[in-house]
Amino acid sequence: METVEMNSVSLKRPHSEDDVTNADEIKRQKISEKSETGNDSGQSVETVTGQPDKSLLEDTKNEIIPNEESEEQEDEELEDSDEDGDPESFADMMKHGLTESDVGITKFVSSHKGFSGILKERYSDFVVHEIGKDGRVSHLDDFSVPVDDEVNFEDPSEETFTVLSDEDKQRLEELQLLKNKETSVAIEVIEDTKEKRTVIHQAVKSLFPGLETKTEDRDGKKYIIAYHAAGKKALANPRKHSWPKSRGSYCHFVLYKENKDTMDAINVLSKFLRVKPNIFSYMGTKDKRAITVQEIAVLRITAQRLAHLNKCLMNFKLGNFSYKNHPLKLGELQGNHFTVVLRNITGTDDQIEQAMHSLREIGFINYYGMQRFGTTAVPTYQIGRAILQNNWNEVMDLILKPRPGAEKGYLVKCREEWAKTKDPAAALKKLPVKRCVEGQLLRGLLKYGMKNIISAFGIIPRNNRLMYIHSYQSYVWNNMVSKRIEEYGLRAVPGDLTLKGATAVHIEEEDVDNYTIHDVVMPLPGFDVIYPKHKIGEAYKEMLVADNLDINNMRHKIRDYSLSGAYRKIIIRPQNVNWEVVAYDDPRIPLFTTDLDKLEGKPLPVLPTDGKFRALKMEFSLPPSTYATMAIREVLKMDTSIKNQTQLNTTWLR
């Protein structure tokens, strides 16, 4: 089967009011969240200049760094105020970004003619449902709260969540976390009835586990006195004091979210629940600009407390609650099921049929998508390469130096100051948002000094540091798989690799007819992997030699940066592929119903039979660590990079 060189396809986009609508929705959400919590909605983990995309977290250790509250609110306000920016500035910034060919994405496997379409015109055009390790697709279809077998234990009543004032909650939280020298907190009982006192007792114990309460008379008034049940021992595991033994320690639930990424959502939930984010666990991170449905587990928080959040939060819904004895682990999922709408398509019915049949029967090249490599003029793989080379001055320079393209003003000023003075304190003063990678590195340089860049870099959260070297690994793999397809096409050849269980073996000439391209894997460079016994094996070595790296010694003197190898399939054939072409007139109208629509009883959208525009609605399932954008790229035959799309679509951005 022939392979086809990539060429960009112009995306013609109609003017849409959706961008304005989405912006208004986001503003309303932020105002609402601030008014209900007294602060911002949660720690922002947007990709900042020089910081890699979080989709890589599926491949790294589940490590959530506790929030730094003192800086968080100020940082979020600054980021929120400048989040979307001027459309022309964004398009200008992307002129200096990456294209697919910059990261080795150059081939197609299908022979149909490409056509144009609009991906994610609305975030609701991209829906992701997680597939658990048992093969079950996660859906939000039940808001009910499970009833415990242990009859003596009562979940808090609805009044529990409102009986305490914000000031009371603040004082109780400080007591619970031993943040001051107080040994107790007294709450005056305004309405002195036994029922009211019971609700206050229950509220304190439910919302602040580890605290006990008693009633005291003082000067003719009644007070509820809250105190630590067991001092610091209670703080170490506060939830054990009011949790029935018959109930599993973890509450599992389905999280439905709109236009938020997974870690951001967890930070919002942790703020409302007044707990640390690291008591949550999940199997994989999900897209931000999408509607996603996934399973989350949280340690010793009741389903009733979680269900209460449905009344407080916008763009989130929690349901399908159950208690289990285990948390969730990254990578345990079987994959994700995607429902995607490509709007304003130009392909003929025959072109669409050919494209979708090819996707179902052949599949697509299993490239790492563009989000793996960052969005600015300094790709994340370059930083990863410098780490592997042990070139720490270059790591520092790549992260902090000025770069072409528009950026948020404070970042531009910070970089200019750094280039002029190389003074981390002076550069940090120009940077009000301290949680970005630049701010973290500058703080590290202040703490450890300019001669200890390794320790300074170590201040950046581990997941983010590892993203850089994984980005380099992905960059090599993309380039090598393009060479493999160009050299040998879509057939297995002697010297290719295939997996026998978890072990890679070479395909021998006498056995080659027993394999297809779907059996072939290629290595991500690292220690303890083998390479193909043909031209591509040599190409790996040449690429790493050119980067001053030894393919036979990928162990780093710093253990964290020792690059472990792995194997990845060359071609992915999606499962459960279905598609439909629909007509529509209004780009603001949704073209299918979501889980939440169904729960709320919203009817299916009524679509015209002869609308002005046509859309391709497609569904498919993919295994973990594969990219839906790469499947869509194969259908449309277009460059999916933000740079290309903004260059071709400046009309709709204005």
Contact at 8 Å (CB) between 159 and 172? no
Q: How many CA atoms lie within 13 A of 291 on its CB side?
A: 23
Contact at 8 Å (CB) between 315 and 363? no
- The residues, ordered by sequence, that sit 6+ positions from 485 with a Cβ below 8 Å of its Cβ are 3, 107, 109, 365, 570
The helix-helix angle for 392-400 and 437-448 (nearest 10°) equals 130
75 catalytic per annotation: no
Alpha-carbon gap, residue 97 to 404, rounded angstroms: 9
Contact at 8 Å (CB) between 122 and 588? yes
Measured at the CA of 581, the angle between CA 575 and CA 582, to 5 degrees, comes to 130
Dihedrals phi, psi of 254, to nearest 5 degrees: -95, 125
Contact at 8 Å (CB) between 207 and 164? yes
Alpha-carbon gap, residue 297 to 319, rounded angstroms: 12
H helical segments located in 38-86: 69-81
DSSP 628: H
Give CA 49 to chain center in angstroms: 17
Alpha-carbon gap, residue 601 to 611, rounded angstroms: 25
Alpha-carbon gap, residue 238 to 241, rounded angstroms: 6
Sign of CA dihedral 305, 309, 311, 317: negative
Instruction: Give the start-end residues of each E strand in 192-315.
Output: 211-218, 221-228, 250-258, 280-282, 291-299
Contact at 8 Å (CB) between 520 and 570? yes
The two three-digit tokens of residue 493, written as one number: 């050849």
Contact at 8 Å (CB) between 595 and 257? no
Residues written for the chain? 654
Residue 282: CB atoms within 10 A of its CB come to: 26
Contact at 8 Å (CB) between 56 and 622? no
Give strand pairing partners of 324: 250
Dihedrals phi, psi of 108, to nearest 5 degrees: -125, 160
Catalytic residue among 168, 287, 595, 639: 287
Query: Which residues are marked as active site?
Result: 287
